[in-house]
Chain A
Amino acid sequence: MSIRVNPDLRNELIQFGIGDWNACYHCGTCTAICPLSEEGFLFPRKKIRLMQMGLQGPLESSVEPWLCYYCGDCTKTCPRDANPGELMMSLRRYLTSTYDWTGLSKKFYTSKIWELAWILFFAALVIISFLVILPSFGYKFTTELTAEGGVKLNSFAPIPIIEAFDWIMAIIVATLLISNILRMYYKIIWKNSTTKVSLWVHIREFWLLIFNFAVQPKFSKCDDKRYWGAHWFLMSGYTIMFIVIVVFLPWFQTEKILPVWDPQRWLGYYATFGLLFGLVIAIFGRLKKKDIKFRFSHVSDWLFLVMLTLTVITGIFIHIFRINGMPMATYVSYITHMAVLVPMILIEVPFSKWSHLAYRPFAVYFTQLKKNAVLK
Chain B
Amino acid sequence: MEEPRIGVYICWCGTNIAKMVDVEAVSAEVGKLPHVVLAKNYKYMCSDPGQELIVKDIHGHQLNRVVVAACSPRIHELTFRKAVEKAGINPYLFEMANIREQDSWVHTDRTEATSKAIDLVVAAIRRVQFHEPLQKRSVNVDPATLIIGGGISGMVAALEIANAGKKVYLIEKTGRLGGHVIKFDLTFPHLSSARQMIRPILQRVENHPNIDVFLNTEIRDVTGYIGNFKTTIRINETESTELRFGNIIAAVGLKPFDPSKIEEYGYGKFPDVITSMEFEEMLGTGQVLTKYGKEPRNIAIIHCVGSRNKKYHEYCSRTCCMVALKFVHQIRASLPSANIFEIYADMRAYGKGHEEFYALTTHKQIIFLMYDQQERLPVISQADRNDNCNMVIRMNEKLSGESIEVPVDMVILMVNMEAHENVKEVVHAIGVSLCGNQFFIEKHPKLDPVATTTGGVYIVGTCQGPKDIPDSVSQARAAAARILATIATGSVAVEVTTASTNEKLCCGCQTCVKVCPYSAISYNEEKRSSEVNEVLCKGCGTCGSACPAGAITSKHFTDRQILAEIEGIMSMSFKGV
Contacts and interface: CB of A to CB of B under 8 A. Distances in A.
Contacts of A7: 298, 339, 341, 367, 406-407
Given A4-B405, A5-B407, A46 B365 contact: no
A368 interface: no
Interface in B324-381: 339, 341, 362-363, 365-369
Given A10-B365, A23-B362, A5 B399 contact: no
Contacts of A23: 362-363
A146 interface: no
Given A53-B369, A58-B402, A2 B394 contact: yes
B422 interface: no
A168 B400 CA distance: 46
Interface string A50-63: 10111100100000
A20 interface: yes
B449 to A, nearest CB: 32
Nearest to B387: A4
Interface in B392-413: 394, 397, 399-400, 402-407
A371 interface: no
A3 interface: yes
A3 B368 contact: no
B407 A53 contact: no
Contacts of B394: 2
Interface in A1-38: 1-5, 7-8, 10, 20, 22-23, 26
Nearest to A58: B402
Contacts of A10: 365, 367
Contacts of B405: 2-5
Interface string A297-341: 000000000000000000000000000000000000000000000
Nearest to A46: B400
A49 interface: yes
Contacts of B367: 5, 7, 10, 52-54
A2 B394 CA distance: 8
A7 B368 CA distance: 11
Majority DSSP secondary structure for residues of A touching B: mixed
Given A52-B368, A53-B369, A3 B404 contact: yes
Given A7-B298, A10-B365, A53-B367, A26 B404 contact: no
Given A7-B341, A53-B397, A22 B404 contact: no
Contacts of A4: 404-405, 407
Interface residues of B, number: 20
B362 A22 contact: yes
Majority DSSP secondary structure for residues of B touching A: strand
Given A5-B407, A7-B341, A8-B339, A55 B402 contact: yes
B407 A22 contact: no
A240 to B, nearest CB: 44
A295 B39 CA distance: 80
A50 B341 CA distance: 14
Nearest to B397: A53
Nearest to B364: A22
A5 B404 contact: yes
A61 to B, nearest CB: 13
A91 B394 CA distance: 26
A3 B403 contact: yes
Contacts of A2: 394, 402-405
A50 B407 contact: no
A53 B400 contact: yes
Contacts of B406: 5, 7
Given A4-B405, A53-B404, A22 B366 contact: yes
A91 to B, nearest CB: 15
Nearest to B337: A11
A11 to B, nearest CB: 9
Question: For A1, A2, A3, A10, which residue has the most chain B Cβ atoms within 10 angstroms?
Answer: A2
Interface string B267-301: 00000000000000000000000000000001000
A23 B364 CA distance: 11
A22 B368 contact: yes
A49 B370 CA distance: 11
A23 B363 CA distance: 7
Contacts of B341: 5, 7
A90 to B, nearest CB: 15
Contacts of B404: 2-5, 53, 55
B363 A20 contact: yes
Interface string A263-292: 000000000000000000000000000000
A55 B365 contact: no
B399 A49 contact: yes
Nearest to A6: B407
Interface in B153-175: none
Contacts of B363: 20, 22-23
A42 B432 CA distance: 56
Given A5-B367, A7-B298, A50 B339 contact: no
Contacts of A52: 367-368
Contacts of A3: 402-405
Interface in A46-80: 46, 49-50, 52-55, 58
A1 B402 CA distance: 9
Nearest to A20: B363
Nearest to B342: A22
Nearest to B358: A25
Nearest to B395: A2
Interface string B292-313: 0000001000000000000000
Contacts of A58: 402
Interface string A153-191: 000000000000000000000000000000000000000
A55 B407 CA distance: 12
A54 B397 CA distance: 12
B321 to A, nearest CB: 14
B341 to A, nearest CB: 7
A309 B407 CA distance: 48
A55 B298 CA distance: 15
A2 B379 CA distance: 12
A4 B366 CA distance: 17
Interface string B66-88: 00000000000000000000000
Contacts of A53: 367, 369, 397, 400, 402, 404
Contacts of B368: 22, 52
Given A2-B404, A52-B368, 7 more contacts: A2-B403, A4-B404, A5-B341, A20-B363, A54-B367, A55-B400, A55-B402
25 contacts: A2-B402, A2-B405, A3-B402, A3-B405, A4-B405, A4-B407, A5-B367, A5-B404, A5-B407, A7-B298, A7-B407, A20-B363, A20-B365, A22-B363, A23-B362, A23-B363, A26-B399, A46-B400, A50-B400, A52-B368, A53-B369, A53-B397, A53-B402, A53-B404, A58-B402
- What are the nearest 7 A-B pairs in CB distance? A7-B339, A22-B362, A2-B403, A49-B400, A4-B405, A2-B405, A5-B406
